[in-house]
Structure 1
Amino acid sequence: MEPLLQSGPMFAFAVLFLIVALFISAFKILREYERGVVFLLGRFYKVKGPGLIIVIPIIQQMVRVDLRTVVMDVPTQDVISRDNVSVRVNAVIYFRVIDAQKAIINVEDFLQATSQLAQTTLRSVLGQHDLDEMLANREMLNTDIQNILDSRTDGWGIKVSNVEIKHVDLNETMVRAIARQAEAERTRRAKVIHASGEMEASTKLVEAASKLAQEPNAILLRYLQTLTEIASEKNSTILFPLPMDLLEGVMQKSKSDGDASSQPKDSDD
């Protein structure tokens, strides 16, 4: 009896210490961006937080959920475009938990599930577009992927706010082919611009010739202006333009003289 009586106060102290420890452990502090999903005997009870909350030990369990935006890097994916071009694409997605209950109850690991869904969606969406669309319409592709992910993760209590395609890597052969295509396109544009310039210049020359033909003295003024521009460049040789009317008169005179000399003279009887 004496050992039992001696151990009685120690046993009472141990029980009291255990009760105090359980009482203290019932108090939980959740930060502003955290929520606690509380289960009562294995069944969902409620979502608590933020601040100081009470979780009854043994009969209640709590799972913390972070509500901040998660930035997840989607690993590089091998994609075959609609025009049968193999590319390597990686992206980044931004999402956050908006319903802590669904994120814990409806899916085992919402981070892993969102990552796998983002990879498969990235491959399926990009595979429906040509390479030129991947390179030129990246904003449209980002929007399409974001809408698909947001609709599929809604049942998990997750909101996908943004998707950004970071890199579209091509092999060396395709890079050289695109470079040749760009060079050919720029050459075509240069030829079209040059032809358009020639067309506009010819139109303006016709209008200028029509204006100059209305006043004979205008041609002379143009001659003098041309001589002034040539003389200002300190050239040793000056080409003096002759009027076309004068040249036509000389040519007609030479032709008439040639015709007269070619006719046979009448012989005297």
Structure 2
Amino acid sequence: MITAIVIILVLLLVAISSLRVLKEYERGVAFRLGRLREPLGPGIRVLLPGLDKLVRMDLRVVTLTIPPQEVITRDNVPARVNAVVLFRVVDPVKSVMTVENHAIATSQIAQTTLRSVVGRADLDTLLAHRADLNEDLAKSIASMTEPWGVKVEVVEIKDVEIPEAMQRAMAREAEAERERRAKVINARGELQASAELRDAAKTLSESPASLQLRYLQTLLELGADQNSTVVFPLPIDIIGPFLDAIRGRAAPGVNGTSPATDAVERTPGDR
């Protein structure tokens, strides 16, 4: 009786130990006496103790952080670049049979590819066109990990560190570029303003009454300000006759001197 109970207990322990539970996001790669079996799906699976060996594979997306890499760009600028890689296993059998550790292998390939791709680009491309570099990285890494049953979803460059001297040079370059744009905009504004003034002067010259109205409007604007000094602009056509009269009085006499000077120089003996 005791022997039967012991046998039943042993069989029960063996049955319990032969059961394996695979989650929905897991797949099992089983080996029986070293030979590959069919992949096992989620649920309760029976494995023979001592004969079968199970390798669990997670099908969820794995986030892999690439440590900072020392690279030199195409224009000979040293930089430190790090990135992140998102990948997942799509073929559990290949990921077990082809490579020893697909996560470590993917990490090493990603580091090597990052240094290679960044080294072929210049600094401006690295800073301003990361999307193109990310696409090149993803294609290069995916082409190497595809035989392992690993699919690379996303590759993103996280941060780019450049020397402080280069940062100061870039800041000066950006400031000079902003000053250039400001000068160009100012010059274009002056050009447009001069064109508008030319059209306004042409319009006023065609209508003298408009010029007089503009003169009166200017006087009105000056009178509205509380200034101690008032400047009255006078058109040339108004003060022109007065200037001509003054020039006529100051005209030279017959002997090349003014009339006042001629009268002073004459003496009673000369009469």
Q: What corresponds to 1:136 in structure 2?
A: 128
Q: What corresponds to 2:56 in structure 1?
A: 64
Q: For residue 48 of structure 1, give the secondary structure of its aligned residue in structure 2.
A: coil
Cα distance in 2 for residues equivalent to 1:264 and 1:55:
139
Q: Cα 1:42–1:225, aligned 2, differ >3 Å: closer, same or farther?
A: same
Gaps of 5+ in 1: 1-7
Q: Cα 1:156–1:246, aligned 2, differ >3 Å: closer, same or farther?
A: same
Q: What corresponds to 1:5 in structure 2?
A: none
Q: What corresponds to 1:4 in structure 2?
A: none
**Given the two structures, how large is their TM-score scaled by the length of structure 2?**
0.87
Q: For residue 39 of structure 2, give the secondary structure of its aligned residue in structure 1.
A: strand
Q: Cα 1:263–1:36, aligned 2, differ >3 Å: closer, same or farther?
A: farther
Q: What corresponds to 1:187 in structure 2?
A: 179
Q: Cα 1:64–1:206, aligned 2, differ >3 Å: closer, same or farther?
A: same
The alpha-carbon deviation at position 247 of structure 1 amounts to: 5.0
Percent identical pairs in the alignment equals: 47
Gaps of 5+ in 2: 257-271
1:178 aligns with 2:167: no
Q: 1:91 aligns with which of 83, 100, 104?
A: 83
Cα distance in 1 for residues equivalent to 2:73 and 2:103:
28
Measured against aligned partners, the alpha-carbon deviations of 1:40-65 in whole angstroms (never above 9, x if no partner) come to 22122111111111222222211000
Q: For residue 46 of structure 1, give the secondary structure of its aligned residue in structure 2.
A: coil
Cα distance in 2 for residues equivalent to 1:144 and 1:255:
85
Q: What corresponds to 2:25 in structure 1?
A: 33
Letter in 1 for 2:116: S
Measured against aligned partners, the alpha-carbon deviations of 1:210-267 in whole angstroms (never above 9, x if no partner) come to 1111110111211222222222221121111111334555556666776x627658xx
Bigger Cα displacement from structure 2, 62-71 vs 132-141:
132-141
Q: Cα 1:249–1:110, aligned 2, differ >3 Å: closer, same or farther?
A: farther
Letter in 1 for 2:201: A
